[in-house]
Structure 1
């Protein structure tokens, strides 16, 4: 079997690259540098990268059905206008937890937004998962944990995955049409040298891709939790993947330089860059965020 060789799609050396998401309407990949307080837009056709300064640490950005991007920052939810390149504060999520910030998100087939919060110091178990549905924010799923990641929804829209990065485990729960959840139950746990499970996504067959911080790669698991593929990257900290391109057959991968020593940074000159490789199984279209 041929070994997949990820290629560098964009060089930027992000401190904490995260949150890639394909924007089918604009034909670009959005992703962030959380600690660099940047929102990046990558055009795969031209190979160009454009960046906007965020008004705080930004965990994610999701294309919405109002033409803007809904973004999760430390201060709460913001709107980003791609035309004016400006951020506008919308609403708080955890006003009584100033040490928390928002971290990672996805949409389901109805456009509901699922996202998590985390302790920005990565020590206290103060992070929770949330559902944004028709303007209402509700706490859902497992928790509290220190670092939330995922969430990820199956292509059929009937299952959702939640990740506890520090606890090295992923839960799964039934996702019903009305947005309610079944009881979370264990899906995967890790105890070895895989690293820490970070962001996750699903492909068209319902397999789950997980980036591993400190794990030098990404792993694909079938719906039963069996590992079926490992793609090694030339950097230690692999954060999250996203399918892109018109056919959703290219997997883009964000990475991070955060936490590397000077020696490790010298040995990993592409740490923090955006990578890409061809997927054996394509992704599935993601719904625009709907918050009205």
Structure 2
């Protein structure tokens, strides 16, 4: 086989692999949206499960998912950002750095169900919070923290060294260089990583089964004070998310028209995750052009 034939064969194999992945993804998305679009309407998106004869709406589940997302990102982003800055700018090759990297890689490879059991022991039982949105937020933070650290480290190390050297040569301190030069330059990559991390949180279910719970009180949206038991902003109440709701209705089959509710919930979840990924790429490109 000559070089030209080998090159064509390899190119064809690469194209075949890429097209197979694209076709599989389009089939899955199309199948879910086709069946779920028949169920989705305004009442389905805003009503609680007891208000629709077909089996219930997903209004509280959508709110719980976004509320859990916000709490988790408030915990994960500051810690991951500081840890990533340390790994990129302050850490020196040695035993301590090797231990930290090993811990990060181990956390990144843990199955979410294991993190859920860990959260059950630490955040649910030992803290006394019980099944709560706050416990679920901490469990999700454990899952996403390695990803945020890696994104921060790679975004900062990807900045050209001339920027850092020029800032230091002009008399700026190391911290001023990080805050005024490195972070603004790495901002597009950071934003993209944060948005993708948010999409992963929205679709997580296994870790939340043992931390946030599979039930939700009747939310009273006229009570905004977080200390009120049925307030939607109470972090110590249980909160069933959309992904957990899909698993629950399929496993228990206690409501009428289970298939319709599950299809509609899955379609909404797919749409939200797709929007997160599209938004991440759009923000990344826009910020890259603006910074450039």
Q: Select the structure of larger CA radius of gyration.
A: 2
Of Structure 1 and Structure 2, which has the larger fraction of its residues in helix?
2
Which structure ranks higher in relative contact order (CA pairs < 8 Å, sequence separation ≥ 6)? 2
TM-score (norm 2): 0.22
Of Structure 1 and Structure 2, which has the larger fraction of its residues in strand?
1
